């Protein structure tokens, strides 16, 4: 589409015998926020690094604003990277630089901005992520992991880029800091910044995205809005059946499937996705049941339904 800001077509990447990306097809519209969810080791971070040119794909095309970018080198690649802000899982701060200079690094080194002006911008951005001027004078080793993550966010937004990548943006943050980051990301979204995020937190995905893509074994297997994906794959309600007898789990799983129920198993928990009211009768298996929970379906149910694994399971 003409308004697609980032387009990946047939992108593949292997490391030795392990194929991490297996024909990725993705289009991110300009000014939209897209969240990528998937287990550990499924290729989320590698995909972001391919777009940035940190890793070169083995095959496929990556176009940004209509320009093929997989073979950029030298000044063309440097100019290309100026369009991005980046926050990876580890904040990746320079230990030898004070916090403010970490935030201002791209402004000073990449854009040749005067240090005094860059420092003012850095302090402003630190304030936007809930950190005061006193923090700007410290060194990364003097900060908690959560504060380092917020410094990384301040650096990602310092140059007001047109595209920002966030790799697990709130991992390690306390709830208050997490919501502050959400507020900042929603503000960027309202300003029309194109954002691509990876996260393990399903509530975060629902709060921050226009669309969600699910990646599994190096392929994108589904895409849609949070509500649309839940309605399509999980329905309105999920019944969690927690079994007291772990050894009985496979037998009960097959019993319920034989009864025509839509059931997924993860270790000793069965997830029943009822298609109509009263379809599940707990009395059939009550002697093996420790607890039954009736709850609303969510995005993690969608992932489990599509992949047969929980988000933390990975490969």
Domain 236-296 falls under CATH 3.20.20? no
Residue 309 is predicted with a pLDDT of 62
Residue 314 is predicted with a pLDDT of 44
pLDDT digits (tens, 9 = 90+) for 173-188: 888 888 888 888 899 9
Over pLDDT 70: what percentage of the chain?
Answer: 97
Mean pLDDT, residues 238-244 taken together: 87
Whether the per-residue pLDDT at 212 is higher than 50: the answer is yes
Residue 182 contacts residue 208 (beta carbons within 8 Å): yes
Residue 313 is predicted with a pLDDT of 45
In a 13 Å sphere around the CA of 281, the CA atoms on its Cβ side amount to: 5
Pairing state between β 219-224 and 237-243 = unpaired
Residue 315 is predicted with a pLDDT of 40
Residue 93 contacts residue 139 (beta carbons within 8 Å): no
Tokens standing for residue 267: 């270790």
Return the minimum-mean-pLDDT range out of 8-12, 14-18, 68-72, 287-291: 287-291
H helix intervals, 142-243: 145-157, 175-190, 202-208, 226-233
H helix intervals, the chain: 44-52, 74-81, 99-105, 115-128, 133-136, 145-157, 175-190, 202-208, 226-233, 249-258, 299-307
CA angle 140, 144, 146 (to 5 degrees): 105
Whether the per-residue pLDDT at 1 is higher than 60: the answer is no
pLDDT digits (tens, 9 = 90+) for 38-54: 877 788 889 999 999 99
Contacts of 114 (CB under 8 A, 6+ apart): none
For the chain, what are the domain ranges?
87-161, 236-296
pTM for the model stands at: 0.83
């Amino acid at each position: 589409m003409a308004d697609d800001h980032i387009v990946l077509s047939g992108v593949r990447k292997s490391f030795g015998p392990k194929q991490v990306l297996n024909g990725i097809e993705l289009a991110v519209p300009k000014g939209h926020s897209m969240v990528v969810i998937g287990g550990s080791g499924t290729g989320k971070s590698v995909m972001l690094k391919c777009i940035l040119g940190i890793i070169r794909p083995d095959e496929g095309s990556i176009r940004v604003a209509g320009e093929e970018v997989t073979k950029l080198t030298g000044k063309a690649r440097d100019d290309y990277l100026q369009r991005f802000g980046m926050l990876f899982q580890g904040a990746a701060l320079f230990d030898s630089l004070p916090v403010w200079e970490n935030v201002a690094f791209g402004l000073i080194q990449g854009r040749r901005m005067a240090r005094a002006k860059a420092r003012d911008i850095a302090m402003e951005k630190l304030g936007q992520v809930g950190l005061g001027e006193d923090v700007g004078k410290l060194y990364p080793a003097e900060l908690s992991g959560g504060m380092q993550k917020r410094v990384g966010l301040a650096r990602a937004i310092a140059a007001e880029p047109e595209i920002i990548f966030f790799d697990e943006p709130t991992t390690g943050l306390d709830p208050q800091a997490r919501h502050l980051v959400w507020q900042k990301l929603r503000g960027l979204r309202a300003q029309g910044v194109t954002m691509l995020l990876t996260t393990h937190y399903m509530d975060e995905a629902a709060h921050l995205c226009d669309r969600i893509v699910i990646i599994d074994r190096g392929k994108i297997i589904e895409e849609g809005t949070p509500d649309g994906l839940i309605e399509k794959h999980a329905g309105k309600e999920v019944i969690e059946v927690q079994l007291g007898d772990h050894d009985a789990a496979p037998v009960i799983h097959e019993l319920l499937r034989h009864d025509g129920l839509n059931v997924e198993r993860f270790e000793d928990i069965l997830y029943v996705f009822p298609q109509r009211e009263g379809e599940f009768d707990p009395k059939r298996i009550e002697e093996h049941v420790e607890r039954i929970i009736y709850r609303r379906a969510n995005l993690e149910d969608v992932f489990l339904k599509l992949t047969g694994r929980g988000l933390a399971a990975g490969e």
